[in-house]
Structure 1
């Protein structure tokens, strides 16, 4: 075999390792040239020289498959890192319409990439600015239409009409006034529709403005209770809560340990609560909902009000505005730590 087309070079090609441009050209030429030293050596390595061509084809195929595999792995890696997110994804995020899978990737990219977070913020600022500009333009058009109607005498006051013996009957004298009325109606209807659409709540932004990761408020309390004399004589309970403390070590970034704890102790409501919080922090909104819903409606659960508040935020993120408003109404009308926040958010949804 030609010294340049070495066994090591072929192995590098097959394994998908990066080759220098010159090395890659040598291998490709050798694979495509039936009279090359590589082809001759393949023939010499087999009992039948006819096997050389299939062997060369196999090498070429294996190299191509490794390259495709590496490209696929690279694409998957870029996807998980959020490097393939685009403007449509940013818009969907602001509107609360991004899929659960992409939401987790989006939040991770936001946390790790300051430049990306800035782009997301700028996109929102631009959208808000365009909305304000559109509203100003609409107001200008409405005022222009009003002035035009005024000049046509459309807004003659009642007193002037009564002086002419018309009472409350308004006689529209010509076709132009009817056209003016139609134009005004069209403008006002368009304005009403536009303003209505602009006042629809931006669920994604409202969620982002109100969501904060729920802090671990239970572990220290459990440690204190385990130190009390009463627990020393109850090894089963002691073991259970020690396992819970172990599962909480990764909170809120880890859900696996809490899931394992609940498989063993499925009735522990507080574990369901913190698992739901961890799932919410990871953007697993449907899973968080399934853990939080029973607790929000359980009057005996000590963290019922926090469960109601965070379930309302989950509903908001999922676009379930009706259930969200129902919970916020309860929160704003009852003494609890979330009362003022709930009232403000409730008002923003109307």
Structure 2
């Protein structure tokens, strides 16, 4: 991973979805294991939010000037002030769009489509291990961090449980651990005739989409459109957004 002086470029590339899959996995693993790296990343995001706010304030200021010019025009101001104001506002809008719109657009679209999968595990079919109920209760309560830990304990005893693997991936996704979620959902997807095949493909498409990998997203969406009617409409809708 890059030295500290290169963190800004690395952070920007991650936020814009410009890193390849291997680097995303490496980046997210480091966020989970390197406290200093996580602090630097959070500071970087806070700085970007401050810049964003600054752009907003500047834009409001320019718009106020326009309003004043409209209300109190002068003969000397008309020819060049309008051009200067228009150029300044255009520059601010373009700069803001280039810096933030792609990431915000991806995040907003992701949130519009994403909802953690409901807990459909029948209590009578759950493991009899003591942790099985605690992960289920935590998951239903949307305490995904606790649910994830409880499922990990269960997986030590039942490593081949498709239910546990799927919901471990769901809990990881809900806590924004996308590389871990992707790994578990891929395992589920490789199981033949799993009741979670369609959902796994859908959530994998969302993970790829959030990370800006549109071609990989489309491949998953194609599978849903051609073979999973429950997700066909949503897949087509997301596909249309990507192709805009």
Shorter-normalised TM range: 0.5 to 0.7
Find the partner of 2:167 among 274, 285, 288. 274
> Which runs of no fewer than 5 residues in structure 1 stay unpaired?
1-85, 110-115, 130-197, 227-236
Please name the residue that 1:329 is paired with. Answer: 222
**Are 2:216 and 1:216 equivalent residues in the alignment?**
no
What's the TM-score once normalised by structure 2's chain length?
0.54
Q: Map 1:85-234 onto structure 2 (within 5 A).
A: 93=15, 95-96=16-17, 100=28, 101=31, 202-218=105-121, 221-222=122-123, 225=124
Distance 1:238 1:283, change over 3 A: closer
**For the Cα contact (< 8 Å) 2:131–2:151, is it kept in 1?**
no
> Which runs of no fewer than 5 residues in structure 2 stay unpaired?
1-7, 19-23, 33-37, 60-100
Q: Map 1:292-331 onto structure 2 (within 5 A).
A: 292-331=185-224
More helix by share: 2
Between the aligned partners of 1:304 and 1:199, the Cα distance in structure 2 is 30
Distance 1:238 1:280, change over 3 A: closer
Q: Map 1:23-38 onto structure 2 (within 5 A).
A: none
Between the aligned partners of 2:11 and 2:191, the Cα distance in structure 1 is 37
Q: Map 1:50-61 onto structure 2 (within 5 A).
A: none
Distance 1:239 1:96, change over 3 A: same
Please name the residue that 1:289 is paired with. Answer: 182
Q: Map 1:245-264 onto structure 2 (within 5 A).
A: 245-251=133-139, 252-254=144-146, 255-264=148-157
* Greater relative contact order, per chain length (Cα 8 Å cut-off, separation 6+): 2
Between the aligned partners of 2:183 and 2:127, the Cα distance in structure 1 is 28
Q: Map 1:330-345 onto structure 2 (within 5 A).
A: 330-345=223-238
2:229 aligned counterpart, secondary structure:
coil
Between the aligned partners of 2:215 and 2:209, the Cα distance in structure 1 is 9
Between the aligned partners of 2:236 and 2:102, the Cα distance in structure 1 is 18
What's the TM-score once normalised by structure 1's chain length?
0.39
**For the Cα contact (< 8 Å) 1:296–1:311, is it kept in 2?**
no
1:322 Cα deviation after fit: 2.2
1:303 Cα deviation after fit: 1.3
Between the aligned partners of 1:257 and 1:263, the Cα distance in structure 2 is 10
1:90 Cα deviation after fit: 9.4
Between the aligned partners of 1:238 and 1:276, the Cα distance in structure 2 is 18
**For the Cα contact (< 8 Å) 1:96–1:204, is it kept in 2?**
no
**For the Cα contact (< 8 Å) 1:273–1:295, is it kept in 2?**
yes
2:212 aligned counterpart, secondary structure:
coil
2:176 aligned counterpart, secondary structure:
coil
**For the Cα contact (< 8 Å) 2:202–2:231, is it kept in 1?**
yes
Alpha-carbon displacement from aligned partner over 1:154-192 (angstroms, at most 9, x marks no partner): xxxxxxxxxxxxxxxxxxxxxxxxxxxxxxxxxxxxxxx
Q: How many residues align?
A: 164
Between the aligned partners of 1:208 and 1:92, the Cα distance in structure 2 is 18
Between the aligned partners of 1:208 and 1:90, the Cα distance in structure 2 is 21
Which is higher, the Rg of structure 1 or of structure 2? 1
1:239 aligned counterpart, secondary structure:
coil
